[in-house]
């Protein structure tokens, strides 16, 4: 089968022929990939940022946002059958460790992470397991939802965690309305009553944000101007700032947009949060990390998607154009999500 494989950090992946995956365990599921999302994490993987954390054996297949059709199942699988349309939770979890027992799939002690530390879905077939597959509503196509498997799930997970404090009269500020942020905006509009303000460097991204439920938008020119506008709009700062960028200075700006007792939800990454401890104490502000999401988060997100309350803004590329898609993402030419279709 054809696949997009990384052979060396700092170098372009290679599109090449590889062996098809095989069923080896009773809970295994093989999926014919209908679409694989392209994520900024893929750029960080290519750069080598994930090697100290996950240390995959190179070469391996990229792609951690995947949807398609069940091709083959192991002997113990009963929650899906051959031919079902499915989206995959990013991790294949064990179901037995303490984290799995309380539904925290992303922290499974025995998980694999296709596309991060084992072969992923930028290929014609993907090996996953029964705990990772979510059967899709008949009206959903893999290429319309694939990127929700990680980007959408991560954005929804952060919003879901904050939803209890985002009641009427509160303010949520979204930093970055791109591939992650444009999903977060829709999740905020769908499950909270907060007033939503979106900050981005792109007028095109802000225009999209307004159509998705943003009440206010701020063009990111310089930090001082952004801070002034946001504090004016929110009457003193946000209750929650969702930082979907996490680098290039956004991670330093975000805490300045909070009111006292507010929370900075870190979703994007690549930079470093720097806060004087006296500010954390005197203002009682929180910095909260967000890693992917739970299986139930993904089920809820697919429900919102089937209802038409969350949609992906995408640019679709054939698998053969994977390197073009990666270049477009790296250069900032993508608004929304890049999707590779075998």
- The full DSSP string for 48-66 is TTTHHHH-PPSSEE---SE
CATH class entry, domain 153-289: alpha beta
Alpha-carbon distance 223 to 218, whole Å?
A: 11
Whether the CB-CB separation of 125 and 1 falls below 8 Å is answered with yes
Please state, in angstroms and rounded to a whole number, the distance separating the CA atoms of residues 231 and 233: 6
What lies within 8 Å, CB to CB, of 96 at 6+ separation is 110
> What are the C-alpha distances in Å from 75 to residues 24, 28, 86, 93?
10, 8, 18, 18
Answer yes or no: is pLDDT of 335 > 80.
no
Report the CATH architecture of 2-150+292-341: Alpha-Beta Complex (3.90)
Question: Is beta strand 238-243 parallel, antiparallel or unpaired with respect to 258-266?
Answer: parallel
Number of H helices, E strands in the chain: 12, 16
Order of strands across the sheet that contains 2-6: 14-17, 2-6, 60-61
pLDDT single digits (tens) 5-50: 999 999 999 999 999 999 999 999 999 999 999 988 899 999 999 9
Q: Would you state the pLDDT for residue 339?
A: 95
- In 3D, which of 288, 281, 245 has the Cα closest to residue 264? 288
At residue 333 the predicted structure's pLDDT band, cuts being 50, 70 and 90, is confident
What are the beta bridge partners of residue 33?
Answer: 68
- The pLDDT, as a whole number, for residue 91 is 94
Q: Could you give the CA distance from residue 17 to residue 33 in angstroms, rounded to a whole number?
A: 15
Among 239, 232, 236, 193, which Cα is nearest to 216's? 232
- C-alpha distances in Å from residue 264, one per residue of 41, 50, 96: 21, 23, 32
**CA 291-89-174 angle, 5° bins:** 40
The DSSP-derived string for 3-20 is EEEE-STTS--EEEE-PP
Which residue in 15, 60, 41, 87 sits closest to 317, CA to CA?
Answer: 15
Tell me the three state secondary structure of residue 293.
coil
19: exposed, middle or buried (Cβ count in 10 Å: 0-12, 13-18, 19+)? exposed
What are 113-172's pLDDT values in tens digits? 999 999 999 999 999 999 999 999 988 999 999 999 998 999 999 999 999 999 999 999
Residue among 124, 41, 140, 42 at smallest CA distance from 84: 140
Q: Where in the chain is the domain with CATH 3.90.180.10?
A: 2-150+292-341
Q: What is the pLDDT of residue 230?
A: 98
How many other β-carbons are positioned within 10 Å of the β-carbon of residue 323?
Answer: 14
Count CB neighbours of 203 within 10 A.
10
Task: Calculate the dihedral angle through the C-alpha atoms of 317, 318, 320, 322, rounding to the nearest 10 degrees.
Answer: 30
Kindly report the average pLDDT of the chain as a whole number: 95
Summarize pLDDT for 82-124 with one digit per residue, the tens: 999 999 999 999 999 999 999 998 899 999 999 999 999 999 9
The pLDDT, as a whole number, for residue 40 is 85
Q: What is the mean predicted confidence (pLDDT) over 283-310?
A: 95
Number of other CB atoms surrounding residue 303 within 10 Å:
12
The pLDDT, as a whole number, for residue 170 is 98
Burial of 53 (0-12, 13-18, 19+ CB in 10 A): exposed
73 neighbors 133 (Cβ within 8 angstroms): no
Q: Give the pLDDT band (50/70/90) at residue 243.
A: very high
| CB count in 10 Å sphere of residue 117 | 20
């Amino acid at each position: 089968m054809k696949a997009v494989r990384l052979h060396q950090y700092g170098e372009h992946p290679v599109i090449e022929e590889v062996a098809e995956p095989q069923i080896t365990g009773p809970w295994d599921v093989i999926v014919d990939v209908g679409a694989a999302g392209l994520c900024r994490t893929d750029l960080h993987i290519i750069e080598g940022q994930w090697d100290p954390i996950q240390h995959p054996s190179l070469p391996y297949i990229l792609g951690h946002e995947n949807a398609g059709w069940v091709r083959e199942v192991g002997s113990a699988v009963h929650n899906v059958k051959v031919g079902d349309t499915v989206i995959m939770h990013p991790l294949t979890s064990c179901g037995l460790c303490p984290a799995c027992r309380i539904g925290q799939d992303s922290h499974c002690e025995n998980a694999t992470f296709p596309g991060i530390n084992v072969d992923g879905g930028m290929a014609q077939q993907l090996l996953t397991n029964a705990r990772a597959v979510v059967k899709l509503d008949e009206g959903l196509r893999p290429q319309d939802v694939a990127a929700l498997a990680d980007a959408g799930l991560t954005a929804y997970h952060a919003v879901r965690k904050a939803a209890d404090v985002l009641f009427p009269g509160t303010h949520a500020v979204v930093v970055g309305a791109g591939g992650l942020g444009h999903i977060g905006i829709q999740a905020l509009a769908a499950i909270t009553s907060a007033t939503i303000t979106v900050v981005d460097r792109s007028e095109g991204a802000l225009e999209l944000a307004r159509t998705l439920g943003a009440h206010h938008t701020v063009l990111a020119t310089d930090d001082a101007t952004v801070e002034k506008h946001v504090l004016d709009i929110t009457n003193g700062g946000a209750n929650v700032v969702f930082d979907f960028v996490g680098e290039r200075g956004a991670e330093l700006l975000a805490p300045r947009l909070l009111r006292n007792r507010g929370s900075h939800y870190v979703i994007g990454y690549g930079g470093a949060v720097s806060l004087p401890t006296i500010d954390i104490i005197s203002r009682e502000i929180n910095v909260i990390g967000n890693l992917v999401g739970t299986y139930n988060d993904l089920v809820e997100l697919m429900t919102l998607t089937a209802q038409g309350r969350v949609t992906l803004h995408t640019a679709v590329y054939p698998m053969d154009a994977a390197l073009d898609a990666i270049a477009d993402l790296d250069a900032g030419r993508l608004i929304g999500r890049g999707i590779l279709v075998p």
